[in-house]
Structure 1
Amino acid sequence: MSQKIQDNESIQSMLELTKLVKFGYKVLDKLPLIYKINPEIKTQRDQAVEILNHANILLLPDEFNNLFSKDGWVCYGGLSQRILEEVIYLGSNKQYQEAKQLLINYIDEDKIDFILKKCASREHFKERLDLFNLLKIDYLEERYHACIPLLLALIDGLANDISKHLGFFAENSDLELYDSITSHGTGLPFLKTIMNTSRTKTITEIIHMPYRNGILHGRDLNFANKEVASKCWWVLDCLIDWADEKQLNKQPKPPASLREALKQHQSIQELSKRIDLWKRRPTQTESYWKEQNIETLNPILPEYALFIFLGAWKEKQWGKMTPILLHNISKHLGKAASEVKNDYKKITLLDFHIINSEDQTPSNTQIYTYLEFIKNHVKQTLYLNISVNYANSQTGDPELRNEPNCGWYILQASISALLFH
């Protein structure tokens, strides 16, 4: 595998295209009459120049790893571009301690909440969600001695479950993936090697790396600090990227043509503009929501999807519920309906209404809902925050609401407290 992330197929093809674009339009600029004859070429030129202006971002992952990987931070797909650019600037200008502090503080409550949201929708990760929530509390309350060993153990177990073969710290663990930033040889696999360093002596001095062997085997005694704990969360976030990319199983493919690259770039720019224009809807009162039903709600709204889902549950129409659940996208509907029936039949839904609804992102709305039901022969009530997501109807990937070929889907993980406890 390549020695640099910029040699990845997806990045290299873009870099080569920028070189081609630069050369081609340098020639065309000497023949301005062509632009008058065919104005479309001028438009393409301007788009190409914009690509060139952003091409340097493709080199940042290598710069980041060169600066910080030896100290336990590697670049990964989920890393904020703002943080990436800022710490590289600081590190390149002899302000390494400032950059280091920024990286440590990057793992704050908001970041952990975002990590946990990702965990809630992913196989193997969601099984450990209760423990991750406890670890969040320990981290925020500075009980680093408690959260570090458990995070290391959970990271190892996750890698084992996902690979169905080896744990994270195993010598031959398959952490390196084709055409990846996170799982490039200089990224997560390199970080694993450092964390797996042999620790043969008892050390009482403060350490700044989450050395797995030294911590779990009781040889590194002064490990309980924010830097080590934040790096464990960092690894967990990297592991999410690794798990996602492992499912994709990327293979070499022919490089994109110039026209395809420009079309893709333009599409991304247009989507970005639509996202910037998006605004949260104003919140409504509980009395307003109590008056709403299938007839009064617009079918394009997330609340409409929730009403359809809960109404079908109340009537025990398992087949109607099945396609509204996010995790059933692309599943065989017959088999999925059987799973839905098995999960939901133990609970008789009697009544429901929305308390309030709040848009979180362009693709997610959280709907606080009152449920009245019978479970284990006991009539009960529960207030539940149900997550409704706007997603591609073929892939399940999140999309900007109202994009075509998409719809609103219920995230079953947000109902799991009722279903499985």
Structure 2
Amino acid sequence: MVVDQFYECLGARNWVFHDSLSLDRVEALLSETSDAASAEERLIDLYRDEEITQWWLSQIRKLDGMKHRWHQVERAREHYHAGQFDSCALHLIAVMDGFVNDFEPDVRKGLVSRDPEGMTVWDSIVGHHLGLTHVLKTFGKTFKKRIDHEVFDLFRHGIVHGSVVNFNNVVVATKAWNMLFAVADWSVATAKASKPVESKPSWGEVLSALERQKRYRQYKDDFQPSQIAAGDSGFDTDELVARTTQFLDAWQHGRWALVVPFMQPEGRGVSGRKAGAFQARELYQRYNLSSFQICTVSYTQASSAEVVADATVNGTKTRITFRMVLYTVDGFAGMPGEDGAEWRLAMSSPQQFFP
């Protein structure tokens, strides 16, 4: 089994196989490497692929307690891709501690305060004996004195309390991402286990879902990449050009509540809108957009497109590039013309837009 092979190779190095990892990709990296160090390097490469991790993050963003800390997750991602690995790890430690603390309000225990054995989940891939509970023992290890040599594990206690001082490397930062996804899986499995068994979907619902899957597969098979540029016939009436213009106009005029619908799907309650507007302001207000001109929209793959625009930001003319994804109301990849499907930013943080 691929999961067992993964843990045989990487379990001792404190990596967790979480639900977002592709079995095919992991099987390939295990078969194409001869030792644990090489497999670890290949695994880290997966996390450094922004398109792959963007999809993983879209699956956990809507979790209650996670979406409220999404500005921290975005900041961690900015720092990770900028090579600021120590600050990335610190942001993610704070996110995990707070998320677990909020998960069970009656318990009110952060991640480091919990008994690792008490976080065992049986209906989840992270419940492997070398999975989350195993890694948490390293995560919570205490240090009585300063450690000056470089470490390659996520020692939460030593990092937060200043005992571990040399952890600014891609391995520690990536293990923080790895653990974030594992903790998210734990929360989902734990919540599922506490709920009564739901009734099975009706045949009509099953058939409807299967038909939708069939239509989406056909859409992907038939998709042909294309590009439309300023000055081309139909450019001004193109749906995504119009949608992108609305986003950039809201950014330019500081209408943060209007920026929220272009960010990734999440709850739309009143508190959600207010929190979203605050998050949008935090992300965008330091980038003063005073003018913009959309140059091209490239439909590069199904449900996804790349937008290139000339802009003036903080008084400097520059070129910005960002990806848009067509999302359904449930947060999955959508199809053109599908009810409720909207184009949204693949990455909400504007720092990723600049060369």
Range class of TM-score, shorter chain:
0.5 to 0.7
SS in 2 for 1:292: coil
Cα offset, 1:277, TM superposition = 1.3
Cα offset, 1:64, TM superposition = 3.1
User: In 2, distance between residues paired with 1:264 and 1:191?
Assistant: 41
1:114-153 aligned at under 5 Å gives the runs: 114=51, 117=54, 122-138=67-83, 147=85, 149-153=86-90
User: In 1, distance between residues paired with 2:37 and 2:186?
Assistant: 28
SS in 1 for 2:298: strand
1:326-337 aligned at under 5 Å gives the runs: 326=263, 330-332=267-269, 336=273
User: In 2, distance between residues paired with 1:84 and 1:412?
Assistant: 24
Work out which of the residue numbers 108, 127, 134 in structure 2 matches 1:190. Answer: 134
CA distance 1:136–1:354, shift in 2 (3 Å): closer
SS in 2 for 1:365: strand
User: In 1, distance between residues paired with 2:151 and 2:144?
Assistant: 15
Work out which of the residue numbers 366, 369, 383 in structure 1 matches 2:309. Answer: 369
* Matching residue's letter, 1:127: Q
Work out which of the residue numbers 90, 103, 115 in structure 1 matches 2:40. Answer: 103
Q: What runs of 5+ residues in structure 1 fail to find an aligned partner?
A: 1-58, 139-145
User: In 2, distance between residues paired with 1:219 and 1:317?
Assistant: 44
* 2:121 and 2:127 in contact (8 A); partners too: yes
Work out which of the residue numbers 97, 112, 122 in structure 2 matches 1:160. Answer: 97
Q: Give deviations 1:256-308, integer Å, cap 9, x for gaps.
A: 5897998699569736743651545323444438x832xx32xxx42232245
* Matching residue's letter, 1:155: L
CA distance 1:115–1:242, shift in 2 (3 Å): farther
Cα offset, 1:68, TM superposition = 3.3
* Matching residue's letter, 2:235: Q
* Matching residue's letter, 1:243: A
CA distance 1:364–1:178, shift in 2 (3 Å): farther
* Matching residue's letter, 2:12: K
Report the equivalent of 1:242: 183
Q: Return the TM-score normalized by structure 2.
A: 0.65
Report the equivalent of 1:31: none
* 1:72 and 1:231 in contact (8 A); partners too: no
1:16-415 aligned at under 5 Å gives the runs: 60-65=2-7, 67-86=9-28, 97-108=34-45, 111-114=48-51, 117=54, 122-138=67-83, 147=85, 149-163=86-100, 164=102, 165-172=108-115, 179-182=123-126, 186-198=130-142, 209-213=153-157, 229-230=170-171, 232-240=173-181, 242-243=183-184, 246=187, 249-250=191-192, 251-253=195-197, 270=214, 273-274=217-218, 276-277=220-221, 279=223, 281-288=225-232, 292-293=235-236, 296-297=237-238, 301-309=239-247, 321=258, 324-326=261-263, 330-332=267-269, 336=273, 352-359=292-299, 361-371=301-311, 383-393=319-329, 395=330, 397-402=331-336, 404-411=338-345, 414=348
Cα offset, 1:116, TM superposition = 6.3
SS in 2 for 1:107: helix
CA distance 1:381–1:404, shift in 2 (3 Å): same
CA distance 1:70–1:357, shift in 2 (3 Å): same
Report the equivalent of 2:105: none
CA distance 1:189–1:152, shift in 2 (3 Å): farther
User: In 2, distance between residues paired with 1:314 and 1:220?
Assistant: 43
* Matching residue's letter, 1:76: H
* 1:157 and 1:167 in contact (8 A); partners too: no
User: In 1, distance between residues paired with 2:275 and 2:141?
Assistant: 48
* Matching residue's letter, 1:71: R
* Matching residue's letter, 1:179: D
* 2:230 and 2:295 in contact (8 A); partners too: yes
Q: Return the TM-score normalized by structure 1.
A: 0.57
Aligned residues: percent identity?
14
CA distance 1:129–1:337, shift in 2 (3 Å): closer
RMSD: 5.2
Cα offset, 1:309, TM superposition = 4.8
Cα offset, 1:168, TM superposition = 3.6
User: In 1, distance between residues paired with 2:148 and 2:256?
Assistant: 59
User: In 2, distance between residues paired with 1:207 and 1:365?
Assistant: 40
CA distance 1:312–1:98, shift in 2 (3 Å): closer
CA distance 1:346–1:334, shift in 2 (3 Å): farther
SS in 1 for 2:307: strand
* 1:390 and 1:408 in contact (8 A); partners too: yes
* 1:356 and 1:368 in contact (8 A); partners too: yes
SS in 1 for 2:19: coil
* 1:325 and 1:412 in contact (8 A); partners too: no
Cα offset, 1:316, TM superposition = 9.9
- Between Structure 1 and Structure 2, how many residues are aligned? 331
Q: Which has the larger radius of gyration?
A: 1
User: In 1, distance between residues paired with 2:245 and 2:187?
Assistant: 36
